[in-house]
């Protein structure tokens, strides 16, 4: 999801924070261990919306994309989880009509 400033479409705060979580979980082994040990506890203190918290905890690829997750970070995260390519692409296709409305 994008917000509009006077010149450009810009990512929302939630989109940035989702991306930060995805990046941290992928690049910091301690964060990865904490996240996968208990996603709900990890996300409880995150400064994100309840929708973002739920989408991350449930690995809802389509919802994360619609919330503005960086697609490169989202794909890397799905690879980390060993989400099959077909499942990843199907999730994106399922929300295709909602993505840029």
Q: What is the pLDDT of residues 61-79, one digit of tens each?
A: 999 999 989 889 999 999 9
Q: What is the pLDDT of residues 82-97, one digit of tens each?
A: 999 999 999 999 998 7
Q: List all residues 6 or more positions away from 13 whose beta carbon is below 8 Å from its beta carbon.
A: 47
Residue 96: per-residue pLDDT: 83
Residue carrying structure tokens 């490169």: 72
């Amino acid at each position: 999801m994008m917000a509009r400033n006077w010149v450009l479409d810009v990512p929302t705060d939630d989109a940035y924070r989702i991306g930060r979580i995805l990046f941290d979980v992928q690049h910091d082994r301690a964060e990865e261990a904490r996240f996968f040990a208990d996603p709900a506890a990890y996300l409880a203190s995150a400064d994100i919306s309840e929708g973002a918290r739920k989408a991350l905890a449930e690995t809802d690829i389509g919802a994360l994309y619609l919330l503005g997750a960086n697609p490169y970070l989202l794909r890397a995260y799905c690879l980390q989880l060993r989400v099959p390519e077909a499942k990843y692409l199907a999730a994106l296709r399922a929300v295709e009509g909602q993505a840029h409305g």
